[in-house]
Structure 1
């Protein structure tokens, strides 16, 4: 059943939701602001604080800002405001979403999250970089894996050795 075959009430509801789709961003900001504020206000902080600014100040300010932006955006959208596309955007909004790319990227991210501990960052990162490039359209089977491995090993070495941020090395622990 297409939108033109739908009953008038359902069609008008779909039309209203499509015209006010930016309310989804407002809801997301509202949820995020609530999460940040809840986390900040339930933070376990020692009573001995020096000065007026403590560890809760920035999270409370960010959470409050997120709630304010969510409210202002919702009011603007309900009053008929719409975000305008950038002049340089070449996206055709009448085309459907590319779910194949979205699902490929989600699968690559999930595989990286599952594999990072057992095989280490260099291997999981190479999979992430190569899989993302493939999902986004790169089709160079001779070049992409080499660039991905180089990026992953370089990122691991910089974070682990230069910045002191330990990443799981997997089989390459101690080698790099």
Structure 2
């Protein structure tokens, strides 16, 4: 059964915004697309180019696609489309958000960002991996730091030695 506009209760601006909250994602996509395009245009033309595709091609493509997706999503939302609610059977939709876990993960990430230049990737990466495991519920105080250290060292070696992507080694640089 469809309702006419006369049968619907009057809606205020807050109610309309709440029903069209996906437009916030559209605005974020527009801002991100504009930022990518602005940065792409600023890439110097004398930048080393190998082959027919220059350094501006991919950022311009990505920025343009972000704008296209934003417009298509906005059109869908304004025509009444809505994102589907979480349908997983292991998700309790009535439970509040677990902000403790989110904050612990953010803390582990920020600690990595602050420490990577000081102590190098092997140590800061171990802190990141162990912090993420702890935030997500693992409480084995012997196994978790050992696995985190191993993952960090392996990641450092793969990026630094095999892929040729230099990561800060910190005081352990002489060892590797």
What TM-score do you get using the length of structure 1 for normalisation? 0.83
With over 3 angstroms needed to count, the CA separation of the structure-2 counterparts of 1:109 and 1:59, relative to structure 1, is same
CA displacement at 1:125 relative to structure 2: 0.3
What residue in structure 2 maps to residue 129 of structure 1?
129
Partner of 1:140: 140
Q: TM-score with structure 2 length normalisation? A: 0.83
**Residue 32 (1) aligns with residue 39 (2):** no
Greater Cα offset, 43-52 or 75-84:
43-52
Moved more, 19-28 or 97-106: 19-28
Determine the C-alpha separation between the residues in 2 that align with 1:148 and 1:60: 38
Separation in 2, partners of 1:155, 1:52: 33
Give the secondary structure class of the aligned counterpart of 2:174: coil
Question: What displacement does 1:96 show?
Answer: 2.4
Q: Could you tell me how far apart the structure 1 residues matched to 2:150 and 2:99 are?
A: 29
Which residue number corresponds to residue 4 of structure 1? none
Structure 2 unpaired stretches of 5+: 1-9
The structural deviation recorded for 1:158 is 1.3
| Secondary structure class of the residue paired with 1:147 | helix
Per the TM alignment, residue 126 of structure 1 is displaced from its structure 2 partner at its CA by: 0.3
Alignment of 1:14-29 (within 5 A): 14-29=14-29
Residue in 2 that maps onto 1:173: 173
The alignment partner of 1:140 has SS state of coil
Gaps of 5+ in 1: 1-8
Q: CA offset at residue 93 of structure 1? A: 3.4
* Number of corresponding residues: 167
Runs (4+) of structure 1 exceeding 6 A deviation are 47-52
The 10-residue stretch of structure 1 (163-172 or 93-102) with the greater mean CA deviation from structure 2? 93-102
CA RMSD of aligned residues (A): 2.6
Deviations 1:64-90 (A, max 9, x none): 111010011012112211122465463
**Do the aligned partners of residues 93 and 17 (structure 1) sit closer, same or farther apart at CA in structure 2, a change above 3 Å counting?**
farther
